[in-house]
Amino acid sequence: MYFKVIFFCFFSLGILGFLDYGRAHIINVSTAFDILLILSVFIYKPKFADKTSLLMFFIFLSYFFISFLIAIVFQGNHLLDFLLAYKAIFYFTILFYFERKTIGGKRRFYQLYKWLVIFFLIKYVSSVLLGLNDRPLLFRENNFELMLLALLFYLKCILFNNVKGWDVIAIIVIFLISGSKSAIPILFLVLASLYLKGLTWKKILSFSLIGIVFIGVFVSLLLSKYGLSGLAGIDRIAFFRVFYLEMINSSILEVIFGHIRMSALSESSCNALYFYPGLFSFKNDGSCYSLILHSFILRSVFDHGVAGTLMIFYSCHLLLTRAGYTSRVSYTFIGVMFLNSLSVSGFNSVFFALSMLVYIGFSPNKINNNQEI
């Protein structure tokens, strides 16, 4: 039942993605996928895997609810500002509820994966060859959606215990023509995890050649964008500078546990990032929150502290290992999330939640129990 819902959602949004070759989908894809996640709560029986999943569910739910009371009820912050800052906490609450629930077996996963790759390949290639968009997208900006594609490609190789040449070629083509600088290191990490399990000279040579191609494309993308202005033109450096100034003026407790829920950045920090008006507070009073820092790592440390950020990464590892994945798979998944979190929203992205939902629903524990439907 739920597989059909997931497949219909991806398939229909993928088809709609061909109706517009601009920088945005014709509908709000993030909202559509968020609704899909919420549906998972109602489709399955309200039953937890065990006491651990119940405990983790209540930890994240309590943290979300208490933060809501502080930020919205007592401080009077805007609801949308809060929801954007606490999406990762909301996602983990759902994921621990969803733990050990089944979506399907290998055949159903491959059906979903195959159509996604076809859609990505056609949309990206046609966008670039026809000069319609030098930063193609199927669902949302490719910095976000390519993280999902890389993780699904990795899961396909895990479930079928092989790495087919045509699959690799298709994925590499999609990533290299995407124009996304943050996506290339992610795919490089995934390929490294797949190819470097049993080292042979053939694997070392082939992986080295792939690495040279990736590095060449990555450097050319950097030079094409920053060749005139140099590294000073990289906006991520501006974000980190603002974050650094905010943190050195914070207390030890704020560094460890985060600032008081929904603390606004200083006026000088907001003024320094005035060129991102769309990321200022929904209150339209000139204030801004950690959202404006772009990077999930920076945002998480500011909002939840070092302890909260480590808890998020640990919870990701816990979900994967309890689903039957090896530590190698878990560390690769977390590595992908870390790389994505350096640049964009990482765990705050609905594409993370979808990836984890698929990993849980098609876990090796279910495959090994002969659930091949």
Query: How far is Cα of residue 21 from the mean position of the Cα atoms in its chain?
Result: 22
**Greatest C-alpha distance within the chain:** 62
184 pLDDT above the threshold of 60: yes
Q: Which of 196-200, 248-252, 302-306, 356-360 has the weakest average pLDDT?
A: 196-200
Distances (CA, A) of 138 to 5, 124, 142, 198, 223: 19, 8, 8, 35, 26
pTM: 0.89
324 pLDDT above the threshold of 70: yes
pLDDT score at 234: 62
198 pLDDT above the threshold of 70: no
- 147, 186 contact by CB (below 8 A): yes
Domain ranges of the chain: 2-230+300-368
Q: What is the mean pLDDT of residues 265-279?
A: 84
Nearest to 113 by CA among 86, 61, 151: 151
DSSP assignments along 177-216, one per residue? TS--TTHHHHHHHHHHHHHTSS--HHHHHHHHHHHHHHHH
Instruction: Please tell me which residue, 368 or 205, carries the higher pLDDT value.
Output: 205
- 124, 170 contact by CB (below 8 A): no
- d(CA 159, CA 150) in angstroms, rounded, equals 14
One-letter amino acid at 118 equals I
pLDDT score at 211: 67
Rg of the chain (C-alpha set) = 21
Neighbours of 110 (CB within 10 A): 15
Q: What is the mean pLDDT of residues 225-238?
A: 58
232 pLDDT above the threshold of 60: no
186's CB contacts (< 8 A; 6+ apart) are: 146, 147, 150, 336, 339, 340
pLDDT score at 297: 92
pLDDT score at 181: 82
Q: How would residue 133 be classed by pLDDT, with cut points 50, 70 and 90?
A: confident
241's CB contacts (< 8 A; 6+ apart) are: 272
Nearest to 294 by CA among 353, 241, 345: 345
Q: What is the mean pLDDT of residues 135-150?
A: 91
pLDDT score at 215: 65
- d(CA 46, CA 308) in angstroms, rounded, equals 27
- d(CA 261, CA 44) in angstroms, rounded, equals 32
Instruction: Please tell me which residue, 54 or 202, carries the higher pLDDT value.
Output: 54
- d(CA 200, CA 204) in angstroms, rounded, equals 6
Owner of token pair 């026809």: 130
- d(CA 37, CA 234) in angstroms, rounded, equals 34
- 344, 297 contact by CB (below 8 A): no
pLDDT score at 365: 73
Q: What are phi and psi of 181, to 5 degrees?
A: -75, -35
Nearest to 359 by CA among 335, 323, 332, 328: 323
- d(CA 67, CA 83) in angstroms, rounded, equals 11
- 143, 343 contact by CB (below 8 A): yes
pLDDT score at 279: 79
pLDDT tens digit string along 157-181? 999 988 888 889 999 999 999 888 8
pLDDT tens digit string along 273-290? 887 777 788 888 888 999
pLDDT tens digit string along 23-70? 777 888 989 999 999 888 888 887 888 899 999 999 999 999 999 999
Q: Positive or negative CA dihedral for 184, 191, 87, 315?
A: negative
Q: Which of 116-130, 206-220, 305-319 has the weakest average pLDDT?
A: 206-220
pLDDT score at 344: 82
Helix (H, G, I), strand (E, B) or coil at 171: helix
Q: Positive or negative CA dihedral for 299, 304, 309, 315?
A: negative
pLDDT tens digit string along 66-99? 999 999 999 888 999 999 899 999 999 999 999 9
pLDDT score at 135: 87
